[in-house]
């Protein structure tokens, strides 16, 4: 069993640390954020991820998993150090390597073991691992030999643990056979296909994969726009397209656009790389353009429907960028909320997990509700932004009972049109015909 240190204890670092402890390694997670480390030490995960807290506590109790703010304590005698710090977008849209540089230099200053493996899991631009090697080298205190490897992460938030144990592939890029073999041995117990390649190819696989997923979504959203014009149904069209196994049904779900900390950022980074190397890629820019338009597509429909949203009470159901996470980074809800307020609407939002994070970004620009009912009470219209199960399972009649006007703009196509038709609702969704529900039922309900 190896002594493994993880630099950065966010979504990726924590899930990786917990999973490696679970298969028997001795893991220490290092993070600069004192509050995060305190919370982790007390057995509380600072992020919401199904199953994570339980598995974390189990491995802490077994003495397999530790947390520290000290790079010295974390890195000094590690056999392997996994870099999982953030790589946010900088002002030019490229990936900011400042945290990677800090972490690499701290690793260089503190490692003592010969032949230590330094593995980058953070999403980095092509060529970053070579820079990491140099940053480590400049700080080394003696003649210590180390290896570097690129090992991009493909987990999805909301199913991060599941993905770690059941992912489609593990990509390892390195300069030496020794490094490739050592990482392959580490990952073999997961039983997931492992692909070995060179450093640059591994780095590119990550951003190119995310941009392809984003491409599929923007494609579905483009086709959804056509469906709206001709009266077709995107749900059927996407299914029909995806049943061709060369295309596949996943990531063809039309909606209010893709968000999160990865798809938008990595697609922009790939477009930037293409420009930088003299291979301008309009296709990749267009993925982002379509998404920007898509985020405001429901708002456009609402403005068209009401002429003005000034003074309207708007309920917003869902704030996180997708269900089963409290993350609001690059979430469509943020763009939509800001725009609605600019239009003069009063927005009351509900989310089962993401209110605290949304408050950090939106502050008191909008109101926050503790329940779906509270958000919908007396609303003139409602937007559905995140398809949490609790939201998908709302009894449709409750929109009618609670809202002043049961007019819904559903950005996630949560409800089947034939069910909506039986209820007293006005229902606008994405890539599907508008439904004006049964007004006889409306009277019965009253
Ligand atoms: N979130 C995802 O689903 C996901 C999936 C695959 C890849 N990635 C990539 O993985 C990387 C990490 O993403 P995340 O979402 O886990 O980030 P995050 O922001 O949740 O966590 C990053 C952590 O690194 C810490 N940190 C920063 N500098 C440090 C340093 N010098 N030493 C120790 N800790 C330091 C921060 O305090 C923070 O806790 C990014 O490159 C991201 O693009 C993310
Ligand atoms: O058919 C679809 C699928 C997704 N989405 C949206 O796309 C965004 C991203 O979803 P998803 O990819 O499931 O979430 P992430 O957790 O951001 O995961 C992506 O980004 C991670 C970080 O790089 C990668 O590791 C994962 O493989 C990659 O799926 C969300 O807003 C979804 O609502 C759609 O609109 N339609």
Tell me which of 147, 178, 197 is where a domain ends.
197
Distance, in Å, from the CA atom of 128 to the CA atom of 123, rounded to the nearest integer, reads: 10
Residues 110 and 245 in one domain: no
Residues 13 and 156 in one domain: yes
Structural domains counted in the chain: 3
Residues 157 and 272 in one domain: no
* pLDDT(442) > 50: no
Residues 364 and 352 in one domain: yes
Residues 280 and 155 in one domain: no
pTM assigned to the model: 0.94
First to last CA, the chain: 67
Report CA(262)–ligand 2 centroid distance (Å). Answer: 8
pLDDT in the model for residue 91: 77
Q: Which residues line ligand 1 (CB under 6 A)?
A: 7-13, 30-33, 36, 84-87, 99, 102-103, 106, 122-123, 153, 155, 157, 261-262
Q: What is the DSSP letter of 330?
A: T
Q: Which of 7, 86, 100, 214 is the best mutation target for the ligand 1 pocket, counting ligand atoms within 8 Å of the beta carbon and taking the most?
A: 86
Render 121-149 in DSSP notation, one character per residue.
-S---TTHHHHHHHHHHHH-SSS--EEEE
Report CA(95)–ligand 1 centroid distance (Å). Answer: 12
Task: List the domain range (segments joined by +) for residue 252.
Answer: 206-294
* pLDDT mean over 138-162: 94
Residues 100 and 179 in one domain: yes
Residue 277 CB partners (closer than 8 Å, separation 6+): none
Residues 143 and 60 in one domain: yes
Q: Is 157 in the pocket of ligand 2 (CB under 6 A)?
A: yes
Question: Is 29 noted as a catalytic residue in this protein?
Answer: no
Residues 21 and 133 in one domain: yes
Q: Is 388 in the pocket of ligand 2 (CB under 6 A)?
A: no
Residues 192 and 72 in one domain: yes
Residues 137 and 65 in one domain: yes
Residues 257 and 389 in one domain: no
Q: Which of 215, 254, 258 is the best mutation target for the ligand 2 pocket, counting ligand atoms within 8 Å of the beta carbon and taking the most?
A: 258
Residues 15 and 159 in one domain: yes
How many residues can be counted in the chain? 446
pLDDT (tens digit per residue) in 181-237: 999 999 999 999 999 999 999 999 999 999 999 999 999 999 999 999 999 999 999
Tell me which of 197, 231, 261 is where a domain ends.
197
pLDDT in the model for residue 438: 73
pLDDT in the model for residue 38: 97
Tell me which of 275, 294, 313 is where a domain ends.
294
* pLDDT mean over 88-109: 92
Could you report the predicted ipTM of this complex, rounded to two decimals? 0.97
Query: Residue 348 sits in a domain of what CATH number?
Result: 3.40.50.720
Closest Cα to atom 21, ligand 1: which residue? 10
């Amino acid at each position: 069993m190896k002594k493994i240190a993880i630099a950065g204890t966010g979504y990726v670092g924590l899930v990786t640390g917990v999973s490696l402890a679970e298969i028997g390694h001795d893991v220490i997670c290092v993070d600069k954020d004192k509050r995060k480390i305190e919370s982790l030490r007390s057995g509380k995960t600072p992020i919401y991820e199904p199953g994570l807290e339980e598995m974390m506590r189990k491995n802490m109790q077994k003495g397999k998993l530790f947390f520290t703010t000290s790079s010295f304590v974390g890195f000094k005698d590690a056999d392997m150090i996994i870099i999982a710090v953030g790589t946010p977008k900088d002002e030019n849209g490229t990936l900011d390597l400042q945290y990677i540089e800090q972490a690499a230099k701290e690793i260089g200053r503190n490692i003592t073991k010969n032949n230590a493996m330094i593995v980058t899991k953070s999403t980095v631009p092509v060529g970053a691992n070579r820079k990491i090697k140099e940053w480590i080298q400049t700080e080394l205190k003696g003649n210590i030999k180390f290896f570097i490897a690129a090992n991009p992460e493909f987990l999805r938030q909301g199913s991060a643990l599941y993905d770690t144990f059941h992912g489609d592939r593990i990509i390892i890029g390195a300069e030496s056979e020794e490094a490739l073999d050592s990482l392959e041995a580490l990952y073999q117990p997961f039983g997931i296909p492992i692909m070995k390649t060179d450093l640059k190819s591994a780095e590119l696989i990550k951003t190119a994969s995310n941009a392809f997923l984003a491409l599929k979504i923007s494609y579905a959203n483009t086709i959804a726009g056509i469906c709206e014009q001709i009266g077709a149904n995107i749900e059927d069209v996407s299914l029909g397209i995806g049943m061709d196994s060369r295309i596949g049904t996943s990531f063809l779900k039309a909606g209010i656009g893709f968000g999160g900390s990865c798809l938008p950022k990595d697609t922009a980074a790939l477009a930037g790389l293409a420009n930088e190397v003299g291979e301008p890629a309009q296709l990749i820019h267009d993925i982002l353009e379509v998404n920007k338009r898509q985020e405001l597509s429901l708002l456009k429909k609402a403005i068209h429907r009401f002429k003005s949203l000034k003074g309207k009470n708007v309920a917003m159901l869902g704030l996180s960028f997708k269900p089963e996470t409290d993350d609001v980074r690059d979430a469509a809800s943020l763009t939509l909320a800001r725009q609605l307020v600019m239009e003069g609407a009063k927005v009351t939002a509900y989310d089962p997990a993401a209110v605290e994070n949304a408050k950090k970004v939106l502050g008191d620009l909008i109101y926050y509700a503790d329940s779906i009912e509270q958000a919908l009470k007396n609303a003139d219209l409602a937007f559905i932004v995140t398809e949490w199960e609790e939201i998908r399972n709302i009894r449709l009649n409750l929109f009618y009972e609670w809202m002043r006007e049961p007019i819904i703009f559903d950005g996630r196509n949560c409800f089947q049109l034939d069910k909506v038709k039986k209820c007293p609702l006005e229902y606008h969704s994405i890539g599907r015909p508008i439904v004006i529900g049964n007004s006889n039922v409306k009277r019965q309900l009253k």
